[in-house]
A = this chain, B = another copy of it.
C-alpha cells in the first residue's frame, strides 16, 4: 500500500498547530488531532467505533486531560464495564477528570423531561440544551483548574445515531455548527460516533462538510472474509495519510496493522 501524505513536507504551519495525540492513529495524523476540532468517527456496525472512542477517552485521561463523555446509546455502567474488558480503568477518574453525561437512561425510560442531577440529559432531542450543558461543564472545569491556563478538554459522543430517529436533520446540522463554533473558540477536541448507512447519503455528506475531520472505519469483504480498515478521510489544518489502514481489535484495543507506520 502506498502511503502518501496529502500535505507537503513539514514546515511552519505544522509546527504551529497544537495537537492532541490519540494514542491510536497518531502516525496517520502527524502526531494527533489539531486542537479546536470536531471529528466525525463514522463506520459500519461492529467495526469498533465505541472501542475507539473509549480507548481515545482513556488515553486522554492518563495524559491528564479533562474528558466529557456524552452517552446516548449505552448506559454509564455498561460503558465503564466494557472499558474494563480492555483494561481501561475509567472508574478512578469519575468525579474528577471524567465527566459522563447520561443521555441514555431517560431516552430509554421515556422518563420525565427534566433532570434531577446535572449529569443526566433529560431530553437528547433538545440539542440546544445539550450545548448549554457542555458550556456549563466547560466553565466548571475551568473553575476547578484555577492554576492551569486553559485546561485541555476533550469531548466524545457515543453515538449520534439515535439523534436521527428523534430530531429533525436541520437541527442536527445546527447542533454540529454550534458545537464546532464552541470547540474552535475553546480549543476543544470532540469525537462524534455515527453509524454509516443509517442516514441517506446526502445527510452523511452534509455532516462530513460541517465537521473539521472525518475518521472512517469499515469492514471490507475480501475473498469471502471481512477485514477491518480505518481511514482519515479529511482533517483540517494538518497533513494526514489518505489510505485505508488495516487494524485489529486486540485485548488492548485498536491496533493499526501497517508495518510502515
Chain A residues with a Cβ under 8 A of chain B: 1-4, 6-8, 11-14, 16, 45-46, 73, 75, 78, 82, 85-87, 108, 161, 165, 170, 173-174, 177-178, 181, 184, 195-202, 205-206, 208-210, 214, 219, 223-229, 231, 233-237, 242-244, 248-251, 255
- Measured in the bound complex, the distance between the Cα atoms of B184 and A249 in whole Å is 22
Q: In the complex, which residues of chain B have a beta carbon less than 8 angstroms from the beta carbon of A173?
A: 165
Give, as a whole number of angstroms, the nearest-CB distance from A83 to chain B.
12
A75–B196 Cα distance when bound, in Å, is 29
Q: Which residues of B contact A196 (CB under 8 A)?
A: 205
Q: Is the CB of B199 within 8 A of A237?
A: no
Majority SS at the chain A contact face: mixed
- Residue in chain B with minimal CB distance to A110: B174
A32 to chain B, nearest CB (A): 17
Q: Are A46 and B206 in contact (CB under 8 A)?
A: no
- Are B3 and A225 in contact, with the CB atoms below 8 A? yes
Decide: A161 and B209 in contact? CB cutoff 8 A. Answer: yes
Chain B contacts of A3 at CB under 8 A?
225
Q: Which residues of B contact A242 (CB under 8 A)?
A: 219, 225-227
